[in-house]
């Protein structure tokens, strides 16, 4: 069955070997098409390919089972947001929290995340309409886990980093709510109070769990490679590797979330900013691991352009990873060439 390149879907099977106009072999007969394979066909200027006719299989999931893997993971993530609110309020009231609540949540959550590869879909699935602090903590914990795994840490270590990321902002419970929820620019005195959340977090975690690594991550997650961070102005070698991972996750989540003092930014443009920050502010290894593993997840995602056009990402540009090729209903938009056009929003 001959199909136009733009009507292909992941999972389609090629009936014949594919060659480009110059006779160069591109893909083998029987290959199952992925988003990357479809992008490769586009890159080679191929208009039509033959695919195997589809057989429709009807799958009736068992009662109560969530079949979509992203939705299944989202159920765990939403629970994590709700649970952090409980932990936050408990720390606010008692000065400490029950560690068993964290462990009961994190163990099944991180086990679920082990099988999830499309992290961008998970980020897009987490609602951020509620309290920023609670959603932010869940996102940071999730990203810390993934970055650690991508860097080659063992599952046990990656779980430890994920737990530390989840708890790193617990110290904000001791910062006045009037400051945390202030929509305008903070005064110098107010910002100094906010900066104390790193020290508060360290002390609360030590009092609650005795977990020195999680406490150290909370203390150091705002330190920067060039010494410009807080609370102690540490430089690269002085910052714990787990805290370097947490710093990257913290910045990415903050910039892509709605906050009282600023609107969220588009996910791909934030990756570009992180890339710049990896030259001096953020540790390059965890930053580049995040960028390298998130970029392929954007293939196939829907986007709204600042031109008002809607479409989907079909290919990453090798000359500019952060300005991909977009397919709309009427045309292809190469953002690496049409510099006045940009992505306003990425969505599922």
Instruction: Specify the higher pLDDT residue, 211 or 19.
Output: 211
**Range in 111-125, 161-175, 243-257 with the lowest mean pLDDT:** 111-125
As a whole number, mean pLDDT of residues 326-348 equals 92
| Model confidence at 202: pLDDT above 70 | yes
Closest CA to 134 of 90, 95, 166: 166
Nearest-5° Cα angle at 261, 256 to 265: 20
Closest CA to 86 of 100, 71, 72, 66: 100
Looking at the structure, do residues 147 and 249 belong to the same domain, yes or no? yes
Residue 190 region, left (φ>0) first, then alpha (ψ -120 to 50), else beta? alpha
Residue at which a domain ends, from 276, 295, 314: 295
Q: Containing H/E element for 310?
A: strand 310-315
In a domain, 87, yes or no: yes
- What residues form DSSP beta bridges with 347? 302
Q: Containing H/E element for 347?
A: strand 343-347
| Model confidence at 348: pLDDT above 50 | yes
Q: What is the number of other CB atoms lying within 10 angstroms of the CB of residue 119?
A: 20
Please give the C-alpha separations between residue 199 and each of 196, 202, 206, 238, 303, in angstroms, as whole numbers: 5, 5, 11, 17, 40
8 Å CB contact between 133 and 92? no
In a domain, 55, yes or no: no
In a domain, 320, yes or no: yes
8 Å CB contact between 303 and 310? yes
**How much of the chain exceeds pLDDT 70, in percent?**
93
In a domain, 305, yes or no: yes
Say if pTM beats, i.e. exceeds, 0.85: no
Q: Specify the pLDDT at position 57.
A: 43
Looking at the structure, do residues 12 and 131 belong to the same domain, yes or no? no
Domain count, the chain: 3
Looking at the structure, do residues 288 and 303 belong to the same domain, yes or no? no
Burial class (CB in 10 A: 0-12, 13-18, 19+), 51: buried
**Close Cβ partners of 253 (under 8 Å, ≥ 6 residues apart):** 136, 139, 140, 143
Looking at the structure, do residues 118 and 23 belong to the same domain, yes or no? no
Q: Specify the pLDDT at position 228.
A: 97
Domain enclosing residue 41, as ranges: 2-50
Per-residue confidence band for 341, with pLDDT thresholds at 50, 70 and 90: very high
Q: Give the CATH number, domain containing residue 32.
A: 3.90.105.10
Q: Specify the pLDDT at position 260.
A: 52
Cα distance between residue 324 and residue 318, in whole Å = 9
In a domain, 84, yes or no: yes
Q: Specify the pLDDT at position 73.
A: 87
In a domain, 59, yes or no: no
Per-residue confidence band for 64, with pLDDT thresholds at 50, 70 and 90: very low
Cα distance between residue 317 and residue 291, in whole Å = 14
Looking at the structure, do residues 8 and 119 belong to the same domain, yes or no? no
In a domain, 120, yes or no: yes
Q: Give the CATH number, domain containing residue 162.
A: 1.10.3210.10
Looking at the structure, do residues 228 and 112 belong to the same domain, yes or no? yes
Looking at the structure, do residues 216 and 99 belong to the same domain, yes or no? yes
What DSSP letter does each residue of 129-180 carry, written as one string? SS-HHHHHHHHHHHHHHHHHHHTT--HHHHHHHHHHHHHTTGGGGGS-HHHH
Closest CA to 127 of 114, 136, 118: 136
Looking at the structure, do residues 283 and 313 belong to the same domain, yes or no? no
| Model confidence at 61: pLDDT above 50 | no
8 Å CB contact between 221 and 243? yes
Per-residue confidence band for 8, with pLDDT thresholds at 50, 70 and 90: confident
**Range in 43-47, 63-67, 246-250 with the lowest mean pLDDT:** 63-67
Per-residue confidence band for 46, with pLDDT thresholds at 50, 70 and 90: confident
Looking at the structure, do residues 225 and 87 belong to the same domain, yes or no? yes
Closest CA to 249 of 129, 155, 322, 168: 168
Looking at the structure, do residues 291 and 304 belong to the same domain, yes or no? no
In a domain, 15, yes or no: yes
Burial class (CB in 10 A: 0-12, 13-18, 19+), 203: middle
Looking at the structure, do residues 288 and 309 belong to the same domain, yes or no? no
Looking at the structure, do residues 41 and 121 belong to the same domain, yes or no? no
């Amino acid at each position: 069955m001959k199909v136009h390149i733009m009507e292909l879907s992941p999972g389609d099977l090629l009936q014949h070997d594919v060659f480009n106009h110059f006779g160069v072999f591109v893909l083998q007969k029987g290959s199952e098409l992925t988003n990357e394979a479809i992008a490769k066909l586009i890159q080679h200027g191929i208009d039509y390919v033959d695919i195997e006719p589809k057989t429709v299989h009807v799958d009736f999931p068992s009662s109560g089972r969530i079949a979509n893997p992203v939705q299944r993971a989202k159920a765990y993530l939403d629970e994590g947001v709700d649970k952090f609110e409980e932990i936050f309020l408990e720390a606010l009231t008692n000065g400490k929290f029950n560690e068993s609540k964290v462990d009961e949540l994190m163990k099944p959550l991180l086990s679920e995340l082990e099988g999830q590869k499309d992290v961008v879909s998970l980020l897009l699935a987490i609602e951020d309409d509620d309290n920023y602090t609670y959603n932010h903590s869940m996102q940071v914990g999730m990203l810390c886990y993934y970055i650690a795994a991508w860097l080659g840490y063992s599952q046990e270590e990656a779980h430890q980093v994920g737990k530390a990321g989840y708890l790193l902002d617990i110290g904000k419970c001791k910062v006045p709510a009037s400051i945390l929820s202030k929509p305008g620019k903070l005064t110098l005195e107010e910002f100094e109070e906010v900066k104390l959340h790193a020290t508060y977090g360290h002390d609360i975690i030590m009092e609650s769990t005795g977990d020195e690594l999680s406490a150290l991550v909370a203390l150091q997650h705002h330190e920067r490679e060039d010494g410009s961070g807080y609370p102690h102005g540490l430089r690269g070698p002085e910052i714990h590797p787990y805290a370097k991972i947490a710093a990257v996750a913290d910045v990415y989540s903050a910039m892509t979330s709605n906050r009282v003092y600023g609107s969220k930014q588009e996910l791909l443009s934030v990756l570009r900013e992180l890339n710049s920050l990896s030259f001096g502010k953020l540790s390059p290894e965890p930053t580049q691991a995040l960028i390298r593993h998130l970029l392929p997840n954007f293939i196939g995602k829907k986007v709204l352009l600042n031109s008002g056009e809607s479409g989907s990402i079909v290919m990453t540009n090798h000359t500019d990873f952060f300005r991909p090729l977009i397919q709309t209903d009427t045309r292809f938009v190469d953002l690496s060439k049409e510099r006045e056009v940009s992505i306003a929003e990425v969505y599922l």
